[in-house]
Amino acid sequence: MLDNVTTLKLLDAYARIPTISSEINPEMVEQVRSFWRDLGVEFELLWPEEPAKGDIHNPALYTEVKADVADAPTLLLYGHWDVQPTGDLSKWQWREQPCPPFEPTYFVDEKYVGSDPQEVLAKVGTENLGKLMMVARGTADNKGQHLANILGVLKAKAAGQLQWNVRIILDGEEEVGSPNLAAIVQTHREKLLANFMVGSDGPKSDNRPTLLLGVRGLLAVILRCENGTNRMLHSGNYGNVVQNPVLPLSRLLQEMQEATREMGQASANFRQEVDRYFERQSPDRPRYEPFLTPTFNVNSLLTEGATTGQKRTIIPSWAEASIDVRLTPGMVPLEVYRRLEELTAAANEKEQGVQFSIEMQSACAASYTSPAREGYQWLTGLTHRFWGDSVLTIPLLGGTLPNDVFTDGLGMASYWLPAANSNNRQHDTNEHFVLEHFFRQQEFYAMLASSPYQG
């Protein structure tokens, strides 16, 4: 019986599997499959026909749960079973209580109540499970979210009320940019076709039920500037003799930021569509208005000789910037990268005494599903029926998910229904999941899976 006590223990067990993307091995894959097998779900491994370059090659997991009715429509569910690295282990503590990232730790009203599910249950009682907060890596991003969704489907199936053929794909590389997902989807295209896709990732907005219609894309690049000396030089003896690479690099970064804004004009049709479907004067508009245009962001700026807490009067031989460009619908990642390459080549002609280089790390297109597409009216009606008038519909998430693999690669409408509490600290230390959201998401997906489709 999948009651709240049982599903709490399941989440606890799932979060204990340390599936950091870069550390996944065959034994860990089987551990995950065994977790699901104990629930009666057999996941098969999906591999690409031609794997991407790089060191990380984790399989996607796939299964299908058959409907209880004839001629049922098909729903595709997406989640990811890999998680972020832990970061600084010394910072994994909540209210001075140590919280090892793969040993779930529980709190109620900020008070520590234990790290063993049985002891926690004895202390708080079954009626207060929704008040629990679980601190562990992967709880909110994304194991807790897709576990809740699948448990909801299994509850509908156990009741004999499943109205959909539910196909499920769990990505094993989302936290490193899903480098093989597009190839996996194309290799196994027939398995993944559906009326539309629903995924759950990212946080709710202000802890309100949230329906997302799209995500921004991502272009990640490394920009480097070198002065050719291959060593650090005395800033007095070599000042005005050898070019410092930092200022030329900063000038090029400024040019690239301005070019990104210009290239954002390619999203004009998308913004017109948003204005058509979403009120300009809506009080919710400020939540997503910043995401309707691209951003050029410098994640880090590093120079040779950089140290913490120590001043050194040197001219570094190189400076390097790690950059992410968040793209909006209509912007083609490779076209944006070519423009950045052109600016780099022009800087090499213009700047004396330095040499620039640029390298693309990853690219993912923005994607968006119009409210005119299949599934939107049905899904919107269902969310309002379950959650009431508090549902927040947002055209575009500021972050990036591999949504284009489904919207562009399969031509499929795609919707996102986050389950995690807003301030869940995903990707950070002390990632946590307020379990009220976990239990309610199961109820919602049980209702969704039990509801006949009226397309």
Mean pLDDT (the chain) is 96
Q: Quick one: pLDDT at residue 87?
A: 96
pTM reported for the whole predicted model: 0.92
Query: Please, which pLDDT band fits residue 53 given cuts at 50, 70 and 90?
Result: confident
Say what percent of the chain tops pLDDT 70: 100
pLDDT tens for 247-282 read 999 999 999 999 999 999 999 999 999 999 998 888
Cα gap 390→385, rounded to integer Å = 11
The DSSP letter of residue 356 is E
Could you tell me the two tokens for 187? Answer: 């290799």
Instruction: Provide CB contacts within 8 A for 96, sequence distance 6+.
Output: none
- Residue 241 in this model has a pLDDT that exceeds 90: yes
164: confidence class by pLDDT, cuts 50, 70, 90: very high
For residue 205, the one-letter residue type is: S
Q: What is the pLDDT of residues 116-161, one digit of tens each?
A: 999 999 999 998 999 999 999 999 999 999 999 999 999 999 999 9
Query: What gap in Å lies between CA 381 and CA 452, rounded to an integer?
Result: 12
The confidence band for 351, taking pLDDT boundaries of 50, 70 and 90, is: very high
In the predicted structure, residue 308 carries a pLDDT above the cut 90:
no
Residue 33's pLDDT band (boundaries 50, 70, 90)?
very high
pLDDT-based confidence at residue 423 (cuts at 50, 70, 90): very high
**52-66, 306-320, 406-420: range with lowest mean pLDDT:** 306-320
User: In the structure, what pLDDT confidence band is assigned to residue 305 with cuts at 50, 70 and 90?
Assistant: confident
- Two structure tokens written together for 372: 């005119």
Q: Hey, which residues does 217 pair with through a beta bridge?
A: 327
Model confidence band, residue 340 (pLDDT cutoffs 50, 70, 90): very high
79-102 pLDDT, tens digit each: 999 999 999 999 999 999 999 999
Of 325, 395, 338, 321, the C-alpha closest to 365 is 325
Residue 153, phi then psi, degrees to nearest 5: -65, -45
In percent, the amount of the chain with pLDDT more than 90 equals 93
For 263: left if phi > 0, alpha if psi spans -120 to 50, otherwise beta; the answer is alpha
Contact 300, 249 (CB under 8 A): no
Cβ neighbours of 119 (radius 10 Å):
12
Q: Supply the pLDDT for residue 71.
A: 96
pLDDT at 309: 72
Instruction: Return the pLDDT at 311.
Output: 82
Q: Can you tell me the distance from the alpha carbon of 360 to that of 373, in angstroms, rounded to the nearest whole number?
A: 33
- Based on its alpha-carbon atoms, the radius of gyration of the chain, rounded to whole angstroms, reads 24
Q: Which of 418, 373, 46 is nearest to 198 (CA)?
A: 418
User: In b/e form, how buried is each residue of 397-416, taking b as 16+ CB within 10 angstroms?
Assistant: bebbbbbbbbbebbebbbbb
Query: Would you mind telling me the total number of residues written for the chain in this entry?
Result: 455
310: pLDDT strictly greater than 80: no
Question: Which is higher by pLDDT, 52 or 23?
Answer: 23
- Can you read off the two tokens belonging to residue 255? 């040019």
CB 413, CB 197: distance < 8 Å: yes
Alpha carbon 233 to its chain centroid, in Å, reads: 42
Q: Are 51 and 57 in contact (CB under 8 A)?
A: yes
The residue ranking higher by pLDDT, 46 or 305, is: 46
Q: Which two tokens stand for residue 192?
A: 């993944």
pLDDT at 307: 75
* pLDDT score of 312: 85
> What's the pLDDT score for residue 207?
95
Q: How many CB atoms lie within 10 A of CB 452?
A: 11
